[in-house]
Amino acid sequence: MLPVMNERWTATAHGIAALSCAATLLAASASWRGARAGADDGVEPAPAPPTYDGVPAMLEGWRELDCARCHEAISEEWAGSRHALAWVDPHFQEALRGLRRPKSCHGCHVPLPLHVDRLRQKPRPRATDLDHGIGCIACHAGPDDTIVGPWGEPTDAHPSVVNESFTAEGQSRVCIACHATNIGPVIGIAKDFVRTEQAAKGESCVGCHMASVERSAAVDPETGEASPIRPGRSHSLRTPRDATFLRSAFDLRLVPGESGMILSIANRCGHRIPGLEGRTLSLAVEAFDAAGASLDQRSVTIDKENHLGADESVDLVLPADSARVHVHGLHDAPGFETPVPFVDEAVLP
């Protein structure tokens, strides 16, 4: 028998209208069906446009960086990521003003090169180029002026060295250095990743948050000659602001149980949800019988106090004659003008 809902979860029988903006959800439903169809076919769904939350879309002046001369495509991806914007993020800057020890946050937002600093947890901060946030050198600068990465391809631009952090076995190491820390509104979700041994299950931070790509990583600015096309990772970074990516964090199943039909809402990412104070996921559930009549309505709220741990699920007991369930989900987070739909779909047994 599947476990019933833990009492720490918010679950009520109030109407769905109190939870969702129906017109917005209905307008989004067609795109969700297409995205899920792609996922079922083994094709990664196209990302949804990130929801604007007051953070700049791109880091200004990124084209002037040395790395961008040869690695323009990768640099442009990075310039629109939360890594590049880690220092200029207005939410971060506002939070600093309310802290007694604001410098305790600097190490992860403007870190010294991690591979030169022994990948310590809570890296030490640098004192220059703060606007570059978590820049190229944070992850790729190595000892003795080397550049570390997955290939170690010889180049006149710089010495290149293969590093364990860019192999299948070590590709979460750099992420864990910062993301295992609880500080301010940030929850150290990498602790869950390590505790639940996600790497042994073949999971990695990079595997979820940096989409697979095949491309030339560099172009000689003088000759226009491109490096060989190889498998790599996008530096755009997928985050919950992308509704399609957020949807992929959950597995929804409708199965029979001893007390009725069970809607299981399972966390299939490698850490708890959410990873930020103030982020709230609200799911409204309506069960229907075979004739289409509504049988029951329930809701679940997932937030810091009611988080869903790695490999955990919350299970709603619904009437035994439930033939399908419709799930509406809204995502609210700091900076959002209104909650954003991330799921609007029917679930069948």
Last residue in a domain, options 204, 233, 262: 233
Q: Is residue 3 in some structural domain?
A: no
Co-location of 253 and 229 in the same domain: no
Co-location of 194 and 287 in the same domain: no
Distance CA 186, CA 179 (A): 9
pLDDT band at 200 (very low <50, low <70, confident <90, very high): very high
Residue 137 near residue 115 (C-beta atoms within 8 A): no
Across-strand partners of 314?
Answer: 265
Q: Is residue 307 in some structural domain?
A: yes
Last residue in a domain, options 206, 233, 260: 233
CATH classification at residue 331: 2.60.40.10
Condensed to tens digits (0 to 9), the pLDDT of residues 254-278 reads 999 999 999 999 999 999 999 999 9
Co-location of 21 and 73 in the same domain: no
Distance CA 346, CA 343 (A): 10
Task: Give the pLDDT score at 11.
Answer: 40
Q: Mean pLDDT across the chain, nearest whole number?
A: 88
User: Taking Cα atoms as reference points, which of 299, 301, 297, 300 lies closest to residue 318?
Assistant: 297
Beta strand pairing call for 294-302 and 313-318: unpaired
Co-location of 291 and 177 in the same domain: no
Condensed to tens digits (0 to 9), the pLDDT of residues 34-68 reads 333 334 444 566 788 899 999 999 999 999 999 99
Co-location of 195 and 90 in the same domain: yes
User: Taking Cα atoms as reference points, which of 122, 110, 258, 96 lies closest to residue 178?
Assistant: 122
Asked if pLDDT for residue 32 goes beyond 50, the answer is no
Co-location of 199 and 275 in the same domain: no
Task: Give the pLDDT score at 327.
Answer: 98
Distance CA 320, CA 268 (A): 26
Task: Give the pLDDT score at 273.
Answer: 98
pTM of the entire predicted model: 0.85
Distance CA 163, CA 158 (A): 15
Q: Is residue 190 in some structural domain?
A: yes
Six token digits for residue 193: 């990743």
Q: Is residue 309 in some structural domain?
A: yes
Asked if pLDDT for residue 162 goes beyond 80, the answer is yes
Domain count, the chain: 2
Task: Give the pLDDT score at 48.
Answer: 86
Last residue in a domain, options 183, 208, 233: 233
The Cβ of residue 342 has, within 10 Å, a number of other Cβ atoms equal to 26
Co-location of 321 and 264 in the same domain: yes
Between the CA of residue 276 and those of 25, 240, 346, what are the distances in Å? 24, 10, 28
Asked if pLDDT for residue 16 goes beyond 80, the answer is no
Domain residues for the domain of 328 are 10-48+243-347
Co-location of 261 and 157 in the same domain: no
Distance CA 72, CA 65 (A): 10
